[in-house]
Amino acid sequence: MAATHESGHAKNVASYEQLISYCVGYGTTYNPSKNALKVASMNTQLANAVTLLTTEKQKHNAYSSAVDAREILFDPLSKLITRIMNSLKSSEVTEQIVTDAKTIARKVTGKRATPKSKKALDAFIESTHEGAKTTENAATTAETEEHKEISSSQMSYDNRLDNLSKLVNLLSSETGYAPNETELKVATLNTMLTTMKAKNTAVINAITALSNARIERNKILYKDGTGVYDVAQDVKAYIKSVFGTTSPEYKQVSKLKFSKPR
């Protein structure tokens, strides 16, 4: 099965471009009174849709890059926490401090969050293959799953950062914790914490940008009455009225498939 590397949204735009081409081919016979159905208006809408699709892809790539950068920074954290705890146990601190630190450390080293579940990726991959059933629904499911996963993942990272900050604060308050290893020193940990917070903020901002890009894309494609989907249906109806139900012209455009998320 050949991959088209297009989501259902992109397929709608491609069908819309073909629809416009057919309308142009009908010459002066295609002369709707409704402005939104005129070729000039449709071409403007098509150009805007293509731009917004591109923007959404760019924002998604930026989001993925931000997530990757954060994961690279967080991946060694569990091993580092283990070293910190071993260093703390061998320091001149009370058992109560070690116990308190253990409680916080367990929260920092919790199960590593991943930004995308396998279910979301599978749904997205399915939506990118030609012939996939209910392509638009598959693409929409992928986005829904991804949104849920992003939300839970972000909360997990926020919690880990919060607990890491608590651990570093605890260590900084204990003069008995004074390791000779540079990577275990409080000053180094504070620098690392600052960098981690910055990477996490970058992901938060990327999530917002991606979400907003999808909102704008969906408006031009699916807004009731004015979106690409509804305009395409109106164009088909107009062609049907002009040429007739059994005409080759109507059969031509009726084969073009447009789908709308539920």
What are 96-123's pLDDT values in tens digits?
999 999 999 999 987 444 444 434 434 4
What are 163-207's pLDDT values in tens digits?
999 999 999 999 999 999 999 999 999 999 999 999 999 999 999
pLDDT band with cut points at 50, 70 and 90 for residue 261: confident
pLDDT band with cut points at 50, 70 and 90 for residue 59: very high
Is the Cβ–Cβ distance between 250 and 244 less than 8 Å? yes
Residue 156 pLDDT: 86
pTM score, two decimals?
A: 0.77
28-32, 60-64, 136-140, 212-216: least confidently modelled range: 136-140
pLDDT band with cut points at 50, 70 and 90 for residue 152: low
What are 7-40's pLDDT values in tens digits?
799 999 999 999 999 999 999 999 999 999 999 9
Residue 170 pLDDT: 96
